[in-house]
C-alpha cells in the first residue's frame, strides 16, 4: 500500500514537472540559435523565414539569430546565396532555453579558375583532393594547412606560391596562429606547437619541423592576453563590465613593471545597463545576446610603433616602442550621419581590420548582402577609400593583405573544397 502511494506521488510530481516545462516553453518569448557550415564556422547574413516567405531575422557576424514567440510545429526556412536552403520544424525541446544549432551545407557549384585579367581574383593555391583549412601570412611567406580526410599537410609557400617546405602533420591540427613576435604555431583542440626549421651552414632553411608543444590551456595563458609587442615592451588587454570597457596595459618584462596605456569605454551602453539594473532589458542584453556587447578597439605593432584604433572614441592613437604617445588622429570612416544629424556606426562595417606589414598600411572592409568592399585607411584623416570590390565572390573567408595583395579562402569545385585565392589591390583610389 505504501509503495502504491509512493509511486502515485512520484507520478504526480513527474506530471507537474512536465506541465511546468510545457508552460515555460509556451511562454518562451524568443528562440535563439546559430547557423554554421560543415566546419562549424558561423555563417553571416542567413535569411530566416516563417511561412516560407516572411523574413523574420538575419544572422549576424557570429551566425546568431532570434525568433520571437516561437511555437512547436512551426517551420523555419533558412536561405543563403552560398549554402543550400533548409527547413527546420520547431520541437518542444527547442523551447526550454537551449540554443538551436543549424548546420548548412555548401551549394554544389563550380567556380571558374580564371586567369588574371585586369584585376580579377585567381587561385593562388589549389589541390585537386585537399581543402585549405587555415593559413597565415608571415614575413618569410605563407603557411597553410591543407586537409584530406585523415591526411593533413603543413605547407610553407613563397609569396610567388612556390612550395618551399611541406610536411605531414596530425589531422588534429587544423588551425594556425602567428604570435606577436611573428612566429607561427599549429593548433589542435589539445595542444599547440611552434613551427621551426633546421638550417644549413650558410643560414638557409632546410627541413620544417614542429617543436615546443604545450597544452592549449597553457598556450592561451601565454598568448591570450598579449595583443602586441615591440622590442622593449608588450601590450596586454582585457575587457570589463560585460565587454563595454577595454583596458590596455604597457608591460616591461625586463623590469617587471606595467602601467595603464589606455582605457576605452562605451559610456552610453554602459550607463544604459547600469540604469537597467536587474530588469528584463538587463537580462536580454547581457545573457541573451552577449556577443553584441563587446566593443572593438584593436591595437597593432608595426615597425616598433603601436597603433590603437579606438573606434569607440573615434580616434587613432600612435605610441612609440615604449608606449609613449606620439600622435592622435580622428577616425571616422566607420561612422555615418543619420537624417536626424546623429552620428552612428555604419552597419556595413563589420568590425574587422587587416595590416599590410610589407607596406605599413591598414585596411578594413564593408559588407553588404555578403559582398565585400575593401577599404584602405588613411591615418591622418581617419577616412577610408574603397580599393577593391569582391562582388564576384560573396562571403569570402579569412581575408588578409600582404604587399597590396588580398588573399582569401573560397569554395572551389563540387566537393566542398576551399582554395586560397589572391587578387592585386590597385593603386588607384577608385573602384
Least confident range from 162-176, 301-315, 373-387, 401-415: namely: 401-415
Q: What pLDDT digit, counting tens, does each position of 10-24 carry? A: 555 455 544 444 544
- Residue at grid coordinates 578597439: 297
Contact at 8 Å (CB) between 194 and 181? Answer: no
Q: Which pLDDT band holds residue 156 (cuts at 50, 70, 90)?
A: very high
- Structure confidence at residue 240 (pLDDT): 87
Q: What pLDDT digit, counting tens, does each position of 158-179 carry? A: 999 999 999 999 989 999 999 9
What residue ranges do the domains of the chain occupy?
A: 2-103
Among 83-97, 216-230, 305-319, the range of highest mean pLDDT: 305-319
Least confident range from 37-46, 183-192, 284-293, 310-319: namely: 284-293
pLDDT at 114 over 50: no
Residue 172 backbone phi and psi in degrees, to 5: -70, -25
Q: Which fold has domain 2-103?
A: Immunoglobulin-like (2.60.40)
- Structure confidence at residue 26 (pLDDT): 47
Q: Share the mean pLDDT of the chain.
A: 82
Q: What is the mean pLDDT of residues 78-93?
A: 85
- Structure confidence at residue 289 (pLDDT): 41
Task: Considering only residues 281 and 80, tell me which one the structure prediction assigns the higher pLDDT.
Answer: 80
pLDDT at 285 over 50: no
**CA distances to 134, 189, 198, 371 from 398, in Å:** 8, 20, 30, 14
Please tell me the pTM assigned to this model.
Answer: 0.75
Q: Environment class of residue 202 by beta-carbon count within 10 Å: exposed (0-12), middle (13-18) or buried (19+)?
A: exposed
Q: What pLDDT digit, counting tens, does each position of 387-401 carry? A: 988 877 877 889 999
Contact at 8 Å (CB) between 37 and 67? Answer: no
Task: Considering only residues 28 and 119, tell me which one the structure prediction assigns the higher pLDDT.
Answer: 119
Amino acid at each position: 500500500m505504501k509503495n502504491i502511494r509512493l509511486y502515485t506521488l512520484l507520478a504526480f510530481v513527474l506530471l507537474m514537472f512536465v506541465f511546468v516545462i510545457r508552460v515555460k516553453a509556451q511562454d518562451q518569448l524568443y528562440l535563439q540559435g546559430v547557423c554554421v557550415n560543415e566546419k562549424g564556422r558561423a555563417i553571416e547574413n542567413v535569411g530566416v523565414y516563417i511561412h516560407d516567405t516572411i523574413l523574420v531575422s538575419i544572422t549576424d557576424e557570429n551566425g546568431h539569430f532570434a525568433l520571437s514567440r516561437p511555437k512547436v510545429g512551426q517551420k523555419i526556412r533558412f536561405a543563403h546565396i552560398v549554402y543550400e536552403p533548409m527547413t527546420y520544424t520547431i520541437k518542444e525541446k527547442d523551447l526550454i532555453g537551449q540554443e538551436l544549432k543549424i548546420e548548412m551545407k555548401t551549394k554544389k557549384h563550380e567556380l571558374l579558375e580564371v586567369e588574371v585579367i585586369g584585376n580579377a581574383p585567381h587561385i593562388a593555391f589549389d589541390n585537386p583532393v585537399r581543402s585549405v583549412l587555415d593559413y597565415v601570412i608571415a614575413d618569410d611567406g605563407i603557411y597553410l594547412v591543407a586537409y584530406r580526410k585523415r591526411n593533413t599537410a603543413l605547407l610553407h609557400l613563397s609569396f610567388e606560391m612556390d612550395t618551399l617546405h611541406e610536411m605531414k602533420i596530425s589531422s588534429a591540427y587544423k588551425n594556425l596562429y602567428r604570435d606577436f613576435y611573428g612566429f607561427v604555431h599549429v593548433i589542435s583542440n589539445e595542444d599547440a606547437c611552434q613551427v621551426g626549421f633546421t638550417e644549413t651552414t650558410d643560414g638557409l632553411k632546410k627541413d620544417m619541423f614542429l617543436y615546443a608543444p604545450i597544452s592549449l590551456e597553457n598556450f592561451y595563458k601565454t598568448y591570450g592576453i598579449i595583443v602586441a609587442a615591440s622590442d622593449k615592451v608588450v601590450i596586454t588587454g582585457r575587457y570589463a563590465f560585460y565587454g563595454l570597457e577595454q583596458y590596455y596595459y604597457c608591460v616591461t618584462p625586463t623590469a617587471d613593471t606595467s602601467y595603464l596605456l589606455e582605457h576605452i569605454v562605451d559610456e552610453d551602453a554602459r550607463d544604459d545597463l547600469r540604469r537597467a539594473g536587474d530588469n528584463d532589458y538587463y537580462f536580454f542584453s547581457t545573457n541573451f545576446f552577449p556577443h553584441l556587447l563587446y566593443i572593438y578597439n584593436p591595437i597593432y605593432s608595426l615597425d616598433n610603433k603601436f597603433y590603437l584604433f579606438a573606434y569607440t572614441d573615434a580616434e587613432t592613437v600612435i605610441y612609440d616602442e615604449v608606449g609613449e604617445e606620439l600622435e592622435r588622429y580622428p577616425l571616422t570612416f566607420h561612422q555615418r550621419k543619420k537624417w536626424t544629424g546623429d552620428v552612428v556606426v555604419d552597419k556595413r562595417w563589420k568590425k574587422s581590420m587587416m595590416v599590410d606589414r610589407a607596406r605599413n598600411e591598414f585596411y578594413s572592409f564593408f559588407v553588404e548582402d555578403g559582398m565585400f568592399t575593401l577599404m584602405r585607411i588613411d591615418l591622418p584623416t581617419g577616412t577610408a577609400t574603397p580599393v577593391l570590390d569582391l562582388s564576384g565572390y560573396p562571403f569570402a573567408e579569412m581575408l588578409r593583405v600582404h604587399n597590396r595583395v588580398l588573399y582569401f579562402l573560397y569554395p572551389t569545385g563540387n566537393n566542398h573544397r576551399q582554395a586560397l585565392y589572391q587578387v592585386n589591390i590597385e593603386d588607384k583610389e577608385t573602384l
